Amino acid sequence: MLGEKSGKMELTAVILAAGKGTRMKSRLPKVLHKVAGRPMLDFVLEAVEQAGASRIIAVVGHGGEEVATAVGNRAEIVWQREQLGTGHALLQAREALAGHEGDILVLPGDVPLVRGETLRSFWQAHRQKGAAATVLTTELEDPTGYGRIVRDAEGRLRRIVEHKDATPAEREIKEVNTGIYCFRPVVFQVLPKIRPDNVQKEYYLTDAVDLLLQEGLEVACFKGENPEEFLGINDRRQLAEAEGIIRRRVAEKLMEAGVTILAPALTFIDPGVQVGADTIIYPFTFLEGETTVGEGCVIGPWSRLKDAVLGREVVIEGGTVVIGARLEDGAKAGPFAYLRPGTVLRSGARVGTFVEVKNSVVGPESKVPHLSYIGDAEIGAKVNVGAGTITCNYDGERKWPTVIEDFAFIGSNTNLVAPVRVGRGAYIGAGSTITKDVPPEALGIARSRQVNIPDWVKRKRR
């Protein structure tokens, strides 16, 4: 029977992610454009998971293979081969939802700001009303481009009219359709009846709402209190606006947890980043990916950390880049250091100005203060590496390791040609090119004898 109520508590989410996003002017599918370091679709998936959806279906079309790859195993994939509108998109999920008796949450894939708790409250209100459909609405000061909510004298929903099809009077309405709905499965009985009788010649999902109303079924509205949650991303300006909102949310949450962010509007922290209390973050710092920062650290300014792990009381001086590296308690890097993947700074280690470290361990309390390259090396405890030192780790075909044991001293402008080992407590004379192992407590020198030629300058001038 049309409109028969279901007692099922199961919620299935259908994410409409087939659109091209023409105004983005990009070959990349719109829902894969990144906001705060993650595809916007990822935020939508996370929100419906938090709302309690036990099953998620993503309707893909333009760039569908890329979208399906990004979704992975988080959702089932349904194809909309021709992008003929939102009503047509939902209709493509009919076969996948055959026999489904629970509620269906339908939302676009370009609303990365919507919160899981908002969607859950929306779903609960839909169930309490027992409606055939519920529309999530909000009020906007500037509703341009959004479908308007037209109500009757008693405040009940009469219809939804798209902006391009609205009369001048209807365009004055500030309550808008967010494009998010809860339906009972009865929606699939009316979807085939939709006709593209509009300016765009598309099958609007809003027309399904009108058809349900014509059948005498109840369609409710649920008004979202925070309009920014429902910002749809249609162009690069809106993408930047969403980016700012998400980063503001992240900064506010961290500051509430005891992190000092000196200039939140000038600090860029991804949602997946964790930062301990009493850490101070200076302006123009980027914390990206799965970065984890311990308590009492100091970071920035002008630094970038991506997938980095910092212990307690770590100092990252200005202009330093840390990617895929781990710094233990009390370590220090910068200014203007570059720590690449595989780098580990043990407790109290220090890497200074214009030092690059790759796939290497710098031992406890060891120092590489300035102007050096350390690659594929293992440096022990309390080692001093002089300015201009290079581990020559690549022979043109293979990478080779360098080992510097505890308490060794490496003089300035040294080349360590790997594979090579410098023994415990050994010294290397400045300006040496070391190609053989240096025994413990030995002095290694590898440079030609100095020759001074008297009066050479005078003779050259003559």
- 358 known ligand binder: yes
Q: What is the DSSP letter of 227?
A: G
| DSSP string for 276-320 | -TT-EE-TT-EEETT-EE-TT-EE-SS-EEES-EE-TT-EE-TT-
- 412 known ligand binder: yes
Q: 316-332 in b/e burial notation, b at 16+ Cβ within 10 A?
A: bbebbbbbbbbbbbbbb
Find the radius of gyration of the CA atoms of the chain.
31
Q: What is the DSSP letter of 18?
A: -
- 338 known ligand binder: no
| DSSP string for 179-248 | EEEEE-TTHHHHGGG----STT----THHHHHHHHHTT--EEEEE-S-GGGG----SHHHHHHHHHHHHH
- 340 known ligand binder: yes
- 262 known ligand binder: no
- 447 known ligand binder: yes
- 166 known ligand binder: no
- 34 known ligand binder: no
Measured over all CA atoms, what is the biggest interatomic distance in the chain, rounded to whole angstroms? Answer: 112
- 110 known ligand binder: yes
Question: Residue 92 is which amino acid?
Answer: Q
Cis previous bond, 39, omega within 30: no
User: Which among 67, 63, 106, 64 is positioned nearest to 88, based on CA atoms?
Assistant: 106
Classify strands 384-385 and 415-417 as parallel, antiparallel or unpaired: unpaired
Give the relative orientation of helices 64-71 and 40-51 as an angle to the nearest 10 degrees.
Answer: 50
User: Which among 438, 387, 450, 388 is positioned nearest to 408, based on CA atoms?
Assistant: 438
- 80 known ligand binder: yes
Candidate list 62, 100, 126, 370, residue with the active-site label: 370
- 53 known ligand binder: no
Q: Contact at 8 Å (CB) between 420 and 394?
A: no
- 384 known ligand binder: yes
- 116 known ligand binder: no
- 19 known ligand binder: yes
The reply to whether 100 belongs to the active site is no
Q: Contact at 8 Å (CB) between 401 and 393?
A: yes
Q: What is the 3-state secondary structure (H, E, C) of 190-205?
A: HHHHCCCCCCCCCCCC
- 146 known ligand binder: no
Instruction: Round to whole Å and give the CA distance between 253 and 115.
Output: 14
- 30 known ligand binder: yes
The number of angstroms, rounded, from the C-alpha of 22 to the middle of its chain's C-alpha atoms is 23
Q: Residue ranges for the binding site?
A: 16-19, 30, 80, 85-86, 110, 147, 162, 177, 234, 340, 358, 373, 384, 387, 393-394, 412, 430, 447
> Which are the catalytic amino acids?
370
Q: Residue ranges for the binding site for UDP-N-acetyl-alpha-D-glucosamine?
A: 16-19, 30, 80, 85-86, 147, 162, 177, 234, 340, 358, 373, 384
Q: Residue ranges for the binding site for acetyl-CoA?
A: 387, 393-394, 412, 430, 447
Q: Residue ranges for the binding site for Mg(2+)?
A: 110, 234
